[in-house]
């Protein structure tokens, strides 16, 4: 069975959690490779809606191993709450089915403080972060002053690292942002308690994953956010601070690229974005609001209204290229069912010139206007559609056009939030 990476191909919230939940039935291990509690993967199972921030969606499947890799930044308080919520719904979570990398960095209170203070200070040029401390924790990782689980579970090492880092971060907080310094004792006490509770889960997950591969087990690598929020290939600086793209699967888990067989991209049948930054196919006015209401497009972590727009083939082709996407899962097609006209962005106009490639410059992208193709909608509910041949013909034509304009085949189609509202077009495990 193949080892698969599942990446979001837009600006996040494509429905990766739902797709990972489905595919996880056919793999042995699900490994999350980047991001942190900025992500919220919503899963609907047996009528219950569950939002996971750190734990891979595979945790809901019996007999599957869930791994939080070294590339993830973990807020231990949020993770402990997540574990409790999953348990309260009757699912098993213990050290046998959940492993947490000893190399994963920890989100500390000063990270959140800096994230929020910085956004306030930036005013109209802010990024629109989730305020979960994600940028500052990855900053500390790169600056080599971060705190990892290997430190947290060893109170002495934790004390030394916290003292050094907090001293420096407090200078920053008080002098740059003119805020109060954070108290060592309080943080030390809270975090050693979290460390004690999480210790049984902490291990060398790279070894766990490579051993699983050696035993012929298959791994599903789960990304958070989306390729256009990738710190290297996204719409910088309006991005998150990690590699949300497929490359992050290797650096964020310690599994070599030679072990990965394929990359599946997830895309909504339209596009959304939370936070600031360019979004060429964005729809403003009543139609934008209508799309948001139809798709219930509110952030699962922050509750912020998402910006909505049409499917953007130009952006998707770019995402597919930088991530090596072989096939797509298209989600939320049902959201478009009531519309009489649907558009796809097939190019951009920049200073009068037609662009068919996604510009690498965010400044150029900011000034691009979309070139749309308009198609007739299908205006029929899709909830009872069981296979691709029973789709209304205009829905089929719309999907064909997505395939033609992106050059990527559609493998999975999701037409509703619950587990059974999905059509498998290709058997990716054959």
The 8-class DSSP code of residue 305 comes to: B
Please say which residue, 16 or 61, places its beta carbon nearer to ligand IMP.
16
Q: Which of 10, 13, 114, 399 touches ligand IMP by CB under 6 A? A: 13
Question: Which residues are CB-contacts of 165 (< 8 A; sequence separation ≥ 6)?
Answer: 108, 110, 140, 145, 146, 147
Q: Which of 3, 34, 130, 323 touches ligand IMP by CB under 6 A? A: 130
Please say which residue, 104 or 209, places its beta carbon nearer to ligand IMP.
104
Among residues 21, 28, 41, 102, the one annotated as catalytic is: 41
Would you count residue 135 as binding ligand IMP (CB under 6 A)? yes
Q: 3-class SS at 237?
A: coil
Would you count residue 15 as binding ligand IMP (CB under 6 A)? no
- First CA to last CA across the chain, in angstroms? 8
Q: Which of residues 304-343 bind ligand IMP (CB under 6 A)?
A: none
Instruction: Find the Cα–Cα–Cα–Cα dihedral 207, 139, 365, 267, rounded to 10°.
Output: 30
Tokens 């050693």 correspond to: 192
Query: Which among 32-40, 89-97, 158-166, 377-385 is the span making contact with ligand IMP, rule CB under 6 A?
Result: 32-40
- φ/ψ of 130, rounded to 5, equals -80, -5
Residue number, nearest CB to ligand IMP: 275
Measured CA to CA, the distance from residue 213 to residue 28 in angstroms comes to 10
Q: Give yes or no for a contact between 238 and 12, defined as CB atoms under 8 angstroms apart.
A: no
Q: Compute and round to an integer the Cα radius of gyration of the chain.
A: 21
Please say which residue, 227 or 415, places its beta carbon nearer to ligand IMP.
227
Question: Which residues are CB-contacts of 337 (< 8 A; sequence separation ≥ 6)?
Answer: 377, 378, 379, 380, 381, 382, 395
- Write down the least CB distance from residue 41 to ligand IMP, Å: 8
Please say which residue, 283 or 395, places its beta carbon nearer to ligand IMP.
283
Would you count residue 132 as binding ligand IMP (CB under 6 A)? yes
13 catalytic residue (yes or no): yes
- Write down the least CB distance from residue 39 to ligand IMP, Å: 4
75 catalytic residue (yes or no): no
Count of residues that interact with ligand IMP, criterion CB under 6 A: 21
Q: 3-class SS at 348?
A: strand
Measured CA to CA, the distance from residue 308 to residue 274 in angstroms comes to 9
Tokens 């919520």 correspond to: 85
Q: Give yes or no for a contact between 10 and 319, defined as CB atoms under 8 angstroms apart.
A: yes
- φ/ψ of 127, rounded to 5, equals -85, -30
Helix (H) or strand (E) holding 43: strand 41-45
Q: Which of residues 203-242 bind ligand IMP (CB under 6 A)?
A: 224-225, 229, 238, 240-241
Please say which residue, 252 or 347, places its beta carbon nearer to ligand IMP.
252
Measured CA to CA, the distance from residue 87 to residue 423 in angstroms comes to 30
Measured CA to CA, the distance from residue 329 to residue 301 in angstroms comes to 23
Q: Give yes or no for a contact between 9 and 266, defined as CB atoms under 8 angstroms apart.
A: yes
Q: Which of 5, 12, 52, 297 touches ligand IMP by CB under 6 A? A: 12
The first and second tokens of residue 85, run together, are: 């919520």
- Write down the least CB distance from residue 172 to ligand IMP, Å: 17
- Write down the least CB distance from residue 43 to ligand IMP, Å: 14
Q: Which of 7, 31, 127, 322 touches ligand IMP by CB under 6 A? A: 127
Measured CA to CA, the distance from residue 116 to residue 261 in angstroms comes to 39
- Write down the least CB distance from residue 417 to ligand IMP, Å: 17
Q: Which of 128, 305, 377, 392 touches ligand IMP by CB under 6 A? A: 128
Q: Give yes or no for a contact between 218 and 262, defined as CB atoms under 8 angstroms apart.
A: no
Please say which residue, 15 or 76, places its beta carbon nearer to ligand IMP.
15
- Lay out the site mask for ligand IMP across 263-302 (x = CB under 6 A, - = otherwise): -----------xx---------------------------
- Write down the least CB distance from residue 134 to ligand IMP, Å: 4
- Write down the least CB distance from residue 298 to ligand IMP, Å: 11
Please say which residue, 229 or 322, places its beta carbon nearer to ligand IMP.
229
Query: Which among 11-19, 172-180, 253-261, 313-321 is the span making contact with ligand IMP, rule CB under 6 A?
Result: 11-19
Q: Which of residues 240-259 bind ligand IMP (CB under 6 A)?
A: 240-241
Measured CA to CA, the distance from residue 400 to residue 410 in angstroms comes to 9
Closest CA relative to residue 15, chosen from 221, 266, 222: 266
Please say which residue, 10 or 253, places its beta carbon nearer to ligand IMP.
10
**Residues known to be catalytic:** 13, 41
Can you give the binding site for ligand IMP, defined by CB under 6 A?
A: 11-13, 38-40, 127-130, 132, 134-135, 224-225, 229, 238, 240-241, 274-275
């Amino acid at each position: 069975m193949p080892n698969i990476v599942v990446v979001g191909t837009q600006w996040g919230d494509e429905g990766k959690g739902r797709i990972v939940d489905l595919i996880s039935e056919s793999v042995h291990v699900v490994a999350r490779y980047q991001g942190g509690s900025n992500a919220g993967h919503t899963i609907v199972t047996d009528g219950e809606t569950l939002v996971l921030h750190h734990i891979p969606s595979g945790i809901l499947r019996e007999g599957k191993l869930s791994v939080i890799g070294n590339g993830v930044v973990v807020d231990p308080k949020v993770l402990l709450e997540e574990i409790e919520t999953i348990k309260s719904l009757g699912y098993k979570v213990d050290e046998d089915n959940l492993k947490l990398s000893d190399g994963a960095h920890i989100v500390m209170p000063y990270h959140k403080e800096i994230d929020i203070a910085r956004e306030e200070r930036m005013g109209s040029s802010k990024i629109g972060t989730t305020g979960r401390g994600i940028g500052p924790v990855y900053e500390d990782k790169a600056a080599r002053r971060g705190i990892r689980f290997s430190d947290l579970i060893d109170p002495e090492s934790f004390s030394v690292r916290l003292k050094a880092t907090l001293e420096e971060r407090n200078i920053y907080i008080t002098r740059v942002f003119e805020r109060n310094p954070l108290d060592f004792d309080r943080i030390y006490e809270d975090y050693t308690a979290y460390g004690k509770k999480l210790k049984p889960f902490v291990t060398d997950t790279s070894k766990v994953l490579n051993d699983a591969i050696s035993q012929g087990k298959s791994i599903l690598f789960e990304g958070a956010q989306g390729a256009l929020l990738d710190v290297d290939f996204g719409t910088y600086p309006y991005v998150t601070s990690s590699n949300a793209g497929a490359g992050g699967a290797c650096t964020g888990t310690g599994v070599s690229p030679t072990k990965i067989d394929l990359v599946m991209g997830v895309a909504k049948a339209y596009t959304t974005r939370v936070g600031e930054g360019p979004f060429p196919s964005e729809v403003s006015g009543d139609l934008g609001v209508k799309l948001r209401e139809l798709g219930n497009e509110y952030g699962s972590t922050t509750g912020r209204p998402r910006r909505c727009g049409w499917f953007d083939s130009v952006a998707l082709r770019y995402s597919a290229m930088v991530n090596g996407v072989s096939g797509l899962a298209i989600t939320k097609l049902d959201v478009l069912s009531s519309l009489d006209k649907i558009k796809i962005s097939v190019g951009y106009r920049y200073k009068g010139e037609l662009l068919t490639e996604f510009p690498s410059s965010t400044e150029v992208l900011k000034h691009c206007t979309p070139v749309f193709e308009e198609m007739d909608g299908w205006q029929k509910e899709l909830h009872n559609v069981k296979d691709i041949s029973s789709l209304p013909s205009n829905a089929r034509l719309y999907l064909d056009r997505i395939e033609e304009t992106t050059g990527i085949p559609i493998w999975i189609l999701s037409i509703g939030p619950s587990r059974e509202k999905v059509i498998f077009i290709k058997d990716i495990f054959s």
